[in-house]
Structure 1
Amino acid sequence: MSIMRRLLFRSLNPRHRLPRRRFATLAAVRQDTTVWTPSPISSIETAAESLFHVSIDVSNSPDLAASHTLPGQYLQLRLPDVERPSFLAIASPPSLVASTGAFEFLVKSVAGSTAELLCGLKKGDVVQLTQAMGIGFNIDRIDPPEDYPTVLIFATGSGISPIRSLIESGFGADKRSDVRLYYGARNLRRMAYQDRFKDWESSGVKILPVLSQPDDSWIGESGYVQAAFARAKQNHSPKGTGAVICGQRQMTEEVSSILVADGVSREKILNNF
């Protein structure tokens, strides 16, 4: 038998296709183990340009509600007749589900995505949710507050969603001497949660909006978050500094590099993914 014929025989031999079938079967089993809970939408409201507040009622699903234990966790959401689910960070603090029976999200409507379809739904429409997943923001790594008086927080766009959960969960910001939130957006029309800034500052978080394309009336920080932070005077002790980052990948990587170069331990730089 020629080499070519032997190779052809091997490619057609079912024994050589077993691993592929086995991996496909295992993947299907893993997918089938996902528990999806039908949950009705409580409300959908405009949060900012291309961003929407979405509240979903989980009051009749105690296991689902109890799965949210840490700020920074996320879940999967899918819609009827839509094959691809969407990953969404939970914007509300874990305590909110106990008082309201709802999960809240900040959703960016992207053309052609599941998120766009979600933002077009109305109160009472039913979606399906998985339980909350992920490690969240492990605040224990930057506690107690007296040992980590400086916490630098960075967010861009809809990355502010899990940051809201963190701030409103409470992490001893009022017991720390320097807690700053660098929050980047294209302009003020794209910046969600401005109505919460006053409460966040009352809790001990200084808000520093950074606009990449501001109008002529803007007098605050402009450009990108990482550049604004690099321009800021570094007057903190690296050993007493923690950071929380969520948002665009380039920002996350560049801010992390700046912090590490300044002496901040990577173990004290928290991400939720």
Structure 2
Amino acid sequence: MSLPRLRPLRRFTRHLRRSRVSVASAAQETVVWTPAPLVKVSPAAESLFHIAVDVSEAPELASSYTRAGQYLQIRLKDPSIRPAFLAIASPPAIAASEGVFEFLVKSVAGSTAELLCRLTKGEIVDLTPATGKGFDVDQISPPENFPTVLIFATGSGISPIRALIETGFDADKRSDVRLYYGARNLTRMAYQERFNDWRSSGVDIVPVFSQPDIFWLGEKGYVQAAFGRDKRIISPHSTAAVLCGQKQMAEEVSSILVGDGVAIDKILKNF
């Protein structure tokens, strides 16, 4: 008994693969890139940089940013360099009123981010419109129903958390809002100059250092471990959380929260 010939099927499979590549290529080509000048590149902390882009001449970009936690792609003029995905650090109101997107960028050796951090004021980059679901704070409203909000961020993951805090989510109307903010040490912690304003808005800040100096008396180790020691969840059903940063941290904190009875849909992420 002879086996049926499979060549037509193989030809069809190859054609299907080529079609998928063509569709993917077409999808990439539909990305809209808009040039915009840098208005600020300055150190924010060790290995971290403040970067601001002027989008005042591109109102479609400014209006695309509607919710804290959204992100976009940014690319340099060299087409051989891959675009980088960056969460927007400034609140949407800044984009609307001042025509500026602000970012907190970690300079990683050999990355697009490193090259971006080497640019200077006036140089041109290309941006896509803002995208992503952002932090859906409607899920943790009204504030009287969720008096406890636990926020977790590590490294440059503080970037969209800054946008959330400064956009506002009625923190001052809640009884217990804590930000567990992890970094290697004090020199690696961005936005320290904003802490007083954040506290005034109702957010208690808990810095956590994985490699602190000998004089540090606060929380040590990783964010998830610090929270595990500190939990203080009085009512899981009226507790919400916001997470951004290292994947392992997000997974372990989520596991702790769910294990203590916090509803999974009340744990907000921007991805």
TM-score interval for Structure 1 and Structure 2 normalised by the shorter chain: over 0.9
- Is 1:217 paired with 2:233? no
Alignment equivalent of 1:160, drawn from 158, 169, 176: 158
Amino acid at match of 2:76: L
Match of 1:234 in 2: 232
Alignment equivalent of 2:42, drawn from 42, 45, 67: 45
Amino acid at match of 2:260: D
Please state how far the C-alpha of 1:79 moved relative to its aligned partner.
0.7
Match of 1:272 in 2: 270
Please state how far the C-alpha of 1:231 moved relative to its aligned partner.
0.2
Q: Where has structure 1 moved over 2 Å in runs of 4 or more?
A: 13-16
Match of 1:248 in 2: 246
Give SS of 1:59's match. coil
In structure 2, stretches of 5+ residues that fail to align are none
Match of 1:174 in 2: 172
Distance 1:28 1:235, change over 3 A: closer
Match of 2:93 in 1: 95
Amino acid at match of 2:255: S
Match of 1:183 in 2: 181
Structure 1 Cα separation of the partners of residues 255 and 216 of structure 2: 28
Number of corresponding residues: 270
User: Over residues 43-67 of structure 1, what are the superposed CA-to-partner deviations in whole Å (9 max), with x where a residue is unaligned?
Assistant: 1010000000000000000011000
- Is 1:59 paired with 2:56? yes
RMSD of aligned C-alpha atoms?
A: 1.6
Please state how far the C-alpha of 1:14 moved relative to its aligned partner.
4.4
Structure 2 Cα separation of the partners of residues 113 and 235 of structure 1: 40
- Is 1:17 paired with 2:14? yes
User: Over residues 211-262 of structure 1, what are the superposed CA-to-partner deviations in whole Å (9 max), with x where a residue is unaligned?
Assistant: 0000000000000000000001424210110100000011000000000011
Task: Report sequence identity in percent.
Answer: 66
Alignment equivalent of 2:107, drawn from 106, 109, 123: 109
TM-score by length of 1: 0.95
Amino acid at match of 1:37: T
Q: Between 167-176 and 18-27, report the one with greater CA deviation.
A: 18-27
Match of 1:72 in 2: 69
Amino acid at match of 1:152: L
User: Over residues 71-103 of structure 1, what are the superposed CA-to-partner deviations in whole Å (9 max), with x where a residue is unaligned?
Assistant: 000000011113411000000000011222100
Structure 2 Cα separation of the partners of residues 178 and 50 of structure 1: 32
Structure 1 Cα separation of the partners of residues 134 and 195 of structure 2: 22
Q: Between 90-99 and 175-184, report the one with greater CA deviation.
A: 90-99
Structure 1 Cα separation of the partners of residues 166 and 144 of structure 2: 20
Amino acid at match of 2:14: R
Give SS of 1:146's match. helix
In structure 1, stretches of 5+ residues that fail to align are none
